Amino acid sequence: DKSSAGKSSFDAASEKYGTEATMNVVHKCIPPSDRNYPILHRVIQHSPQHINLFTTHYPEAVYLRDMDNRTLFLCTLVSGNKTFSEDPLFFLKASDDEVGEMDPVTELFPFALAASGDTSDLMGVYRLLRREPGLVLGKRPNQKERRKRSRST
């Protein structure tokens, strides 16, 4: 069908059958109770415009890691689908653990992931480094340092 050329399967099905009917089919194939499939990681990579829709249907998937052991935060940074100017809360609400976790595939910290690729989001890099400046030198703060720093601010 020429009208669905260049669209994802989900987009083409939603256009033809409606979003609700398409989500019902997705639920049958990947039940929300399936706590082993990182569906949100796939959505952020291939159809990021649908991440909010899928997150409402699969909220528990936010806490899963993908087959490469990436969190959703790391997967999102790797995909290059977030910039500070478009979604500042994505960067500002990241936990200390997320900001300090090295990507298991690229072995880069989140600030370097934000700097790499086509987006090279300098404000995102800056905000992530402000949280953990020692990461530039490859130093990960320990839990005691984090508690001390958070009390003094």
| Percentage of residues in the chain having pLDDT higher than 90 | 67
DSSP 8-state secondary structure symbol assigned to residue 116: S
> According to the model, what pLDDT value does residue 153 have?
47
Q: Which residue has the tokens 């082993």?
A: 36
State the Cα–Cα distance between residues 25 and 108, nearest whole angstrom: 37
- Mean pLDDT, 10 residues at a time, the chain of 153 residues: 70 94 94 87 91 94 94 94 92 94 95 85 93 83 53 47
Q: Which pLDDT score, from 0 to 100, does residue 7 have?
A: 83
Give the type of residue at 117.
G
Q: What is the pLDDT of residue 145?
A: 54
